[in-house]
Amino acid sequence: MEGALIAIGGVIVGAVAAGIKDLFFLWTKNKKERDYSAIRLAAALDGFYFRCIDISYDVAYWTEASSTKDLGQFTLPVFMVDDLGVNWKSLPNDVAYEVLNFSNKIYASNYTIDCAFFHLHDPPDFPEAFEIRQYEYAKLGLFAHELASRIREMAGLPERDNSEKFHPAHELQITIERIEKRREERIERNRKHIPS
């Protein structure tokens, strides 16, 4: 009888130890997948962020062969979530949602830009439409920067090196504020020409 109890106890201890070992390996695997996914996402968002800086400083030019997509010196950045090789299930729900929804934000911004060029302004006078392009991508760039920072913090990754003299996030914020100020001035100027 004692031998049977010892055998059953050994089976139970062995099963518990095996279960703990399996949980540890599963946790380690999930952590590695989460960290790798975070690295991929942070790098992709940083790349998008830097291309947004180019767009926020881009100047318009127009020729008869131009379309709204190639008016500037830089092409609009693309963020393809399907090409990132990320294990979405390894990420917290809020982070996965923000990254996956970022494509919708880009689509909405591109739609706003296309509408501005197509419906509101005619070539070669595109200053306001081009301003919308700069504004939308400055906002997208700031969002990408903030999201990449959150992802790095979540995964315990080091923050991006900000030791350079040029502070891109600050420059994007300046672009947004400058354009918002211009818009307010235009509205005020137009208001003076509308009879009360």
Tens-digit pLDDT profile for residues 136-178: 999 999 999 999 999 999 989 888 776 666 788 888 999 999 9
Cα distances (angstroms) measured from residue 127 to each of 23, 35, 103, 135:
59, 43, 26, 12
Q: What is the residue range of 93's domain? A: 2-193
pLDDT digit string (tens) for 12-24? 666 666 566 555 4
Q: Which one-letter DSSP state was computed for residue 76?
A: P
Q: pLDDT at position 164, please? A: 65
Q: Rounded to an integer, what distance in angstroms lies between the CA atom of residue 122 and that of residue 166?
A: 35
Closest CA to 54 of 189, 149, 150, 166: 166
Number of domains in the chain: 1
Tell me the average pLDDT of the chain: 81
Instruction: Compute the residue count for the chain.
Output: 196
Does the predicted model carry a pTM greater than 0.85?
no
Q: Kindly tell me if the per-residue pLDDT of 99 is higher than 90.
A: yes
DSSP state of 84: S
Q: DSSP secondary-structure letter at 65? A: T
Report which of 183, 112, 170, 184 is spatially closest to residue 141, judged by C-alpha positions. Answer: 170
pLDDT on residue 26: 52
Report the percentage of the chain scoring pLDDT > 90: 35
Q: How confident is the model at residue 97 (pLDDT cuts 50, 70, 90)?
A: very high
Question: What pLDDT is stored for residue 18 in this prediction?
Answer: 58
- Angle of helix 127-155 versus helix 168-193 axis, rounded to 10: 150
Q: Long-range pairs for 176-182 at CB < 8 Å and ≥24 separation?
A: 176/135, 176/138, 176/139, 176/142, 179/131, 179/134, 179/135, 179/138, 180/135, 182/131
